[in-house]
Structure 1
Amino acid sequence: NQPAGHLEPDESLLEAARRETLEETGWEVAPTAFIGAYQWKAETGRHYLRFAFAADPVRHLPDRPLDDGIVQALWLTPSELQSQSHRHRSPLVWQVVQDFLAGRRSPLSTLQQIA
């Protein structure tokens, strides 16, 4: 799975993307583009909404503990990731990568937070 999670109160989507990435990988990142918004209905009937971003790595904090339940951050090539599709949390994992590889990018200014 890519880093994912929930919005905290009064948090923007970009703030959440930076925070979740840090909490789940130990990396500070700088979002560079919006890849897309994705909705998926699981077999349980539960709906999931994902906002995906491209980002540049800024700084690795190797001594920072990762969120509970995360054993390690693992970086895979696209072919390695695709070969593990049976382990993906949802079909959104590979769809986001496909869209990124196809060059799908929108400016971050596409997202607006109205106070």
Structure 2
Amino acid sequence: MWKPHITVAAVIEYQERFLLVSDSTSRGVLLNQPAGHLEANEDLITAVIREVKEETSMDFRPEKIVGIYLYHPNSEQTYLRVCFTGSLLDYSKTPCPVEGDDGVIAANWFDLATIHKRAGEHRSQLVAQCIDDYLSGQLYPLSMLHHIVPNYMLKLD
């Protein structure tokens, strides 16, 4: 049965550099934004905060949506990525993956020229697309997102 993978990602810029992670994959080590899959019963904002924390040890505050991307890397897979931008609570910390995070081996700041130069090492074309859309000022309010929780999931006191 076909089902899309729903993922979140964060474009985080500081002093004209972007925070990227190095993922160990079957195709080698590839660059990506801090990103990952939506988990069961999780809203998109909570998911991106969690993913940034797991992959960089940094506390992220989402502020805008960069875009929503439907990506087909092959005929059998479909990804729906919601990309956010925002700020870190403390830029003085050195980013590093949380111990035990599967696949992420490093987190570093890269300038735009280096990111473009290393395009062949991107996990997907979404890496550059999200940064380009962010730089073009394509930003949308978080209020676009609505998390509808059925009554049976509400906690009753």
| Rg comparison, structure with higher value | 2
* Structure 1 residues 92 and 62: alpha-carbon distance in aligned structure 2, compared to 1, 3 A threshold: closer
Unaligned runs of 5+ in 2: 1-31, 150-157
1:68 has 2:110 as partner: no
In the TM superposition, residue 44 of structure 1 has moved relative to its aligned partner by 5.2
Amino acid corresponding to residue 15 of structure 1 in structure 2: T
- 1:80 is matched with 114
- 2:141 pairs, out of 95, 107, 113, with 107
Matched-pair contact (CA < 8 Å) for 1:25–1:66: no
**TM superposition score normalised by structure 2:** 0.68
Matched-pair contact (CA < 8 Å) for 1:3–1:20: yes
- 1:43 is matched with 74
**TM superposition score normalised by structure 1:** 0.91
- 1:27 is matched with 58
* Structure 1 residues 4 and 62: alpha-carbon distance in aligned structure 2, compared to 1, 3 A threshold: closer
Q: Which has the higher strand share?
A: 2
* Structure 1 residues 62 and 75: alpha-carbon distance in aligned structure 2, compared to 1, 3 A threshold: closer
Matched-pair contact (CA < 8 Å) for 2:49–2:61: yes
1:5 has 2:5 as partner: no
* Cα distance in 1 between the residues matched to 2:63 and 2:100: 23
What stretches of structure 1 move > 2 A for 4+ residues in a row? 59-66
Aligned residues: 115
Identical counterparts, % of pairs: 37
CA RMSD of aligned residues (A): 1.8
